[in-house]
């Protein structure tokens, strides 16, 4: 890694260091923003001392980033349309990366400082959508063309449904625990200084650390996605493709490209028909260097095969050619995605989804040092966050109570829900999942519906998402003028 950085000029190095610094700060802020969620229950119930809980939570967040894979990271990256992603090595691409980073961090830190409800996920996604829309407007395209709406719908659905799942399952689990656990003390808020009974204490500790692990795996991946955007944009020759892709996977990519060549060749008529019917949009003349088009899919797939036939590893591909190879892969993948969505379903016997995953493999990766840096930023942020909790004496602090069983139910459900989202490659708001879980247990316990939780979740949708979009779009217009 250091050899790579020592070979770049001072200007690029400065740009790289500043960008990486901002991305890691975003992750650090995310860590201390969410500390309270991860450790509040275990410390409040005296299951662990504050120091032990915070250190263990930081460590679990650290390891969670490595355990989460990279599917969530690239779900975030692919919210941007492929045309913008393949232009990321230009000044426009850098303006995009800086706008995303600065708007996300400003909003995240600002809401934390002012004590306003916010979600890091909604902030980041709002910034990405804002930049995408602004780029489309700048290019003279309809605003809607600036976002990969298919992916945005998937991500939006996951952000919307996950708190509902948290609410219902945590409430249901509490009802089950109320039937199974007859000790009344488990269903009351903690009294005195004694820790909970051993079984419940173990459940609270394990589920609390599980929430931290899940938080690291989901929220950490958002930082990994941002860092990869930066690296690919600033050092495309080095990071455009995974140089460690095994030979067998390279062969699989060639095969996938060959099958796509046959597929697109065989569907020329259907493609032209879809263009005429308006099922595939004609690409208007654009100002950016590259644009992907379904009509160019055969050329892209043939170019991939030709390049990979010449080299037996990605490392052997000259750095100057790696960017073109990446562009061809992403353009072909996008064309295949469009074909998948055609109304007549003309995909035949081909498993397009599986072939697309194979094709994208060399482009969707993260070097170990990136995972390590993001893990450290998130882990340290979590540990620092506890020190930064500001106590505000008032009505709320006096009325807030939680029983052992409520805490355990909410944490177990949050841990499982976020873990499942990781498996499906979907970003979720860890804060919303956990808080709605607590609200679900309160509703099941007949302590009333937590309007404060509902208000916070609603605020993220009606306030944070549009605000981050506007901030991202505004900064993109500003930075793209300066670029």
CA nearest 132: which of 150, 120, 109, 157?
150
* 41 contacts another protein (rule: CB under 8 A): yes
- Single out the residue of 176, 315, 400, 424 in contact with another protein (rule: CB under 8 A): 400
- How far apart (Å, rounded) are the C-alpha atoms in residues 209 and 382? 12
CB of residue 458 to another protein, shortest distance in Å: 10
* 457 contacts another protein (rule: CB under 8 A): yes
Report helix, strand or coil for 461: helix
* 36 contacts another protein (rule: CB under 8 A): yes
Only segment of 99-107, 215-223, 271-279, 398-406 that touches another protein (CB under 8 A): 398-406
- How far apart (Å, rounded) are the C-alpha atoms in residues 343 and 86? 27
Report helix, strand or coil for 111: helix
* 68 contacts another protein (rule: CB under 8 A): no
What Rg, from alpha-carbon coordinates, does the chain have? 24
Backbone angles phi, psi at 142, to 5 degrees: -60, 145
User: Residue 187's Cα: distance from chain center in Å?
Assistant: 36
Only segment of 18-26, 223-231, 247-255, 383-391 that touches another protein (CB under 8 A): 383-391
- Contact string (CB under 8 A) for another protein, positions 108-127, x = contact: -------xxxx---------
* 389 contacts another protein (rule: CB under 8 A): yes
Query: Residues 238, 241, 245, CA angle at the centre, nearest 5°?
Result: 115
CB of residue 387 to another protein, shortest distance in Å: 9
* Cβ distance to another protein smaller for residue 118 or 231: 118
* Cβ distance to another protein smaller for residue 98 or 112: 112
* 237 contacts another protein (rule: CB under 8 A): no
Instruction: Specify burial of residue 353 (Cβ count, 10 A radius: 0-12, 13-18, 19+).
Output: exposed
* 37 contacts another protein (rule: CB under 8 A): yes
- How far apart (Å, rounded) are the C-alpha atoms in residues 168 and 145? 36
- Single out the residue of 43, 136, 205, 214 in contact with another protein (rule: CB under 8 A): 43
- How far apart (Å, rounded) are the C-alpha atoms in residues 24 and 408? 31
- Single out the residue of 345, 392, 446, 482 in contact with another protein (rule: CB under 8 A): 392
CB 26 within 8 A of CB 101: yes
List of residues contacting another protein (CB under 8 A): 35-37, 39-41, 43-44, 49-50, 115-118, 189-193, 386, 389-393, 396-398, 400, 402, 431-432, 434-436, 438-439, 442, 450, 452-453, 456-457
């Amino acid at each position: 890694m250091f050899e790579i950085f020592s070979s770049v000029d001072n200007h690029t190095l400065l740009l790289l260091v500043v960008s990486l610094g901002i991305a890691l700060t975003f992750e650090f802020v995310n860590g201390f923003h969410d500390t309270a969620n991860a450790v509040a229950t275990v410390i409040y119930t005296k299951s662990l001392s504050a120091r032990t809980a915070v250190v263990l939570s930081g460590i679990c967040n650290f390891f969670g980033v490595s355990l989460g894979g990279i599917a969530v990271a690239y779900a975030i990256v692919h919210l941007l349309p492929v045309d913008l992603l393949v232009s990321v090595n230009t000044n426009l691409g850098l303006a995009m990366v800086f706008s995303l980073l600065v708007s996300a961090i400003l909003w995240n830190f600002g809401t934390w400082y002012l004590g306003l409800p916010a979600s890091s996920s909604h902030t980041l996604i709002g910034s990405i959508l804002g930049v995408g829309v602004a780029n489309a407007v700048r290019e003279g395209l309809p605003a809607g063309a600036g976002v990969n709406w298919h992916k945005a719908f998937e991500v939006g659905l996951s952000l919307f449904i996950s708190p509902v799942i948290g609410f219902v399952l945590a409430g249901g689990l509490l009802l089950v625990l109320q039937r199974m656990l007859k000790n009344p003390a488990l269903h009351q808020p903690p009294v005195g200084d004694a820790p909970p009974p051993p079984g419940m204490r173990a459940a609270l500790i394990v589920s609390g650390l599980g929430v931290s692990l899940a938080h690291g795996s989901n929220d950490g991946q958002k930082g990994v996605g941002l860092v990869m955007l930066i690296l690919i944009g600033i050092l495309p020759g080095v990071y455009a493709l995974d140089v460690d892709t095994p030979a067998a996977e390279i062969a699989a990519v060639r095969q996938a490209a060959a099958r796509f060549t046959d597929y697109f060749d065989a569907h020329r008529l259907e493609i032209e028909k879809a263009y005429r019917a308006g099922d595939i949009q004609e690409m208007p003349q654009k100002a950016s260097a590259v644009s992907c088009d379904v009509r160019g899919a055969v050329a892209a797939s043939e170019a991939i095969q030709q390049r990979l036939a010449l080299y037996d590893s990605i490392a052997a591909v000259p750095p100057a050619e790696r960017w073109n190879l990446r562009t061809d892969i992403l353009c072909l993948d996008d064309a295949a995605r469009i074909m998948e969505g055609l109304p007549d379903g003309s995909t035949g016997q081909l498993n397009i989804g599986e072939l697309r995953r194979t094709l994208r493999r060399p482009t969707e990766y993260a070097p170990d040092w990136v995972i390590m840096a993001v893990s450290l930023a998130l882990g340290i942020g979590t540990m620092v966050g506890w020190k930064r909790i500001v106590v505000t004496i008032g009505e709320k602090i006096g009325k807030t109570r939680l029983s052992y069983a409520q805490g355990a139910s909410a944490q177990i459900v949050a841990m499982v829900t976020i873990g499942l989202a990781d498996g499906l490659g979907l970003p979720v708001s860890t804060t919303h999942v956990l808080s709605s879980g607590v609200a679900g247990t309160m509703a099941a316990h007949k302590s009333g519906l937590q309007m404060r939780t509902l208000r916070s979740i609603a605020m993220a949708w009606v306030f944070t998402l549009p605000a981050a979009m506007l901030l991202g779009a505004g900064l993109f217009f500003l930075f793209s003028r300066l670029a």
